[in-house]
Amino acid sequence: MMGFRAFVSVDIEPNEKIVRFVEELRRAGRSLKVVDPSIIHLTLKFLGETEERIVPEIRMVIERSTAGIPPMRLRLVGAGTFPGGSKIRVVWIGVEGAAELGVIARRLDEELEALGFKREARPFAAHLTMARAREPTGMGPVKDIVQKYAMEDFVEQTIHSVRLKKSVLTPSGPIYSTVEEFGLGGQ
């Protein structure tokens, strides 16, 4: 049975401020694995290894989960880390105006469980992962950069669709492709 790594997300268009933030993180040291700005996205549900044969059922779940939700304006604002403090694992950009995405994420989580996908342990928290720490040491420069961008107003974007994505892991980073796109507001 053929399968692929899958997730459901909304794609974000990078702008100059986001690219500059990423470049500063990249220069901060080798202990950070920085995300390529061209593939940043907000994950609504990570599916992991997914069999091709259940894609039609996943498609129906996504359609039901996005039903009645219009396009929305998201504001990307502020930077931070998970966890806080000195042992950084993830560097993120904050997202405002994502309440409707939370609704979609909750619906996906509930309905996909019936197809064998595990429910999320934590509630949906809208954020853009910009970097992951390979090891949590030597994070002083990273903390300084995050502090500098803590209140940054990166961009406001309108989200028109949710996508089922395929992820292929390569030595130079993941390659994402859109399996299917679902317009919001009946588009």
Active-site choice (127, 133, 163, 182): 127
| pLDDT at residue number 31 | 83
CB 129 within 8 A of CB 90: yes
Residues of the chain with pLDDT under 50: none
CB 97 within 8 A of CB 72: yes
Pick among 3.90.1140.10, 3.30.300.130, 3.10.129.10, 2.40.10.10: CATH of 3-186: 3.90.1140.10
Q: Quick check: is 160 catalytic?
A: no
State the pTM of this model. 0.90
In angstroms, what is the C-alpha Rg of the chain? Answer: 17
Q: What is the pLDDT of residues 132-147, one digit of tens each?
A: 998 877 788 999 999 9
| pLDDT at residue number 186 | 66
| pLDDT at residue number 1 | 58
Active-site choice (5, 20, 41, 132): 41
| pLDDT at residue number 72 | 96
| pLDDT at residue number 187 | 54
